[in-house]
């Protein structure tokens, strides 16, 4: 899980430079459209694995967000960016808040589910917090059908002398298992010009569309997959929507709701 990685622990304060919020605008807009495919009007949204809150920077303009992450350090980064949002420390496999939402959003943090059991538990968490007539949206980095070995790079400067740059290299060491591997090299520059380099290996889950379909259906969702076409630098990416069955009355009340 994410708590194992320095990126989301003692290095969390660097996250806005490693992966700047502006880079999330397109993904957030695409996700917002999927969230609004729910049968009911979407206002209250639960985000599982919200990280540093970089999707929330954009989504909070349209929704009232409750942000959940396993890392207290990443939640602190998010609180500074999104003070108007509710923040909760919790594991997406186990969380039960005792209330429901119009929609649930799980971005690429779902990739840290390495087994079908962990993924199934996360899908069950989304279902448990989704109102009848609502929707859950999952955006894994990879599926079996879309995966291709790739590299990525990025980073930004703070304007005060601090800066961060990273290189990521992702491949599949064993196509017979359910995860892929990314090697990250991170270079950090402090205000005084001193630098530090960090190497970290991440494993992230990769499952087929059939597995996603089966797990969403098993939880009680009606599943749908959308494929966002990539370009020369980025491969296609699957987005999964689970609609929780329910019939919405004229006044907006849920009646004859399944589940």
0.95 exceeded by pTM: no
From CA 64, how far away is CA 60, in angstroms rounded? 6
Residue 251: predicted pLDDT: 41
> Is 86's pLDDT higher than 80?
yes
Residue 235: predicted pLDDT: 75
Residues 108-112 have a mean pLDDT of: 97
Confidence of residue 114 (pLDDT cuts 50, 70, 90): very high
> Is 153's pLDDT higher than 60?
yes
CATH numbers and ranges of domains, the chain:
12-144+206-255 (3.40.50.150), 150-204 (2.20.25.110)
Residues 34-41 have a mean pLDDT of: 96
């Amino acid at each position: 899980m994410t708590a194992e990685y320095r990126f989301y622990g003692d290095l969390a304060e660097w996250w806005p430079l490693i992966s700047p919020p502006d880079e999330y605008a397109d993904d957030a807009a695409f996700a917002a459209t999927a969230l609004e495919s729910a049968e009911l009007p979407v206002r209250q949204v639960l985000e599982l694995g919200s990280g540093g809150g970089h999707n929330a920077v954009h989504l909070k303009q349209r929704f009232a967000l409750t942000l959940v992450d396993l890392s207290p350090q990443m939640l602190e980064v998010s609180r500074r960016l999104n003070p108007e949002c509710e923040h909760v420390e919790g594991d997406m496999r186990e969380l039960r808040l005792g209330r429901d939402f119009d929609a649930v959003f799980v971005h690429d943090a779902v990739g840290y589910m390495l087994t079908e059991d962990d993924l199934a538990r996360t899908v069950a968490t989304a279902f448990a917090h989704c109102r009848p007539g609502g929707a859950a949206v999952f955006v894994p980095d990879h599926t079996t059908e879309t995966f291709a070995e790739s590299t990525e790079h990025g980073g930004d400067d703070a304007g005060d002398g601090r800066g961060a740059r990273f290189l990521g290299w992702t491949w599949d060491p064993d196509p017979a298992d359910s995860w892929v591997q990314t090697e990250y090299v991170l270079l950090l520059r402090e205000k005084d010009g001193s630098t530090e380099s960090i190497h970290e290996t991440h494993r992230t889950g990769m499952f087929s569309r059939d597995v996603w379909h089966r797990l969403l259906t098993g939880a009680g969702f009606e599943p749908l997959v959308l494929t966002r076409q990539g370009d020369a630098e980025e491969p296609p990416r699957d987005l999964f929507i689970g609609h929780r069955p329910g019939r919405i009355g004229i006044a907006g009340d849920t009646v004859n709701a399944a589940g």
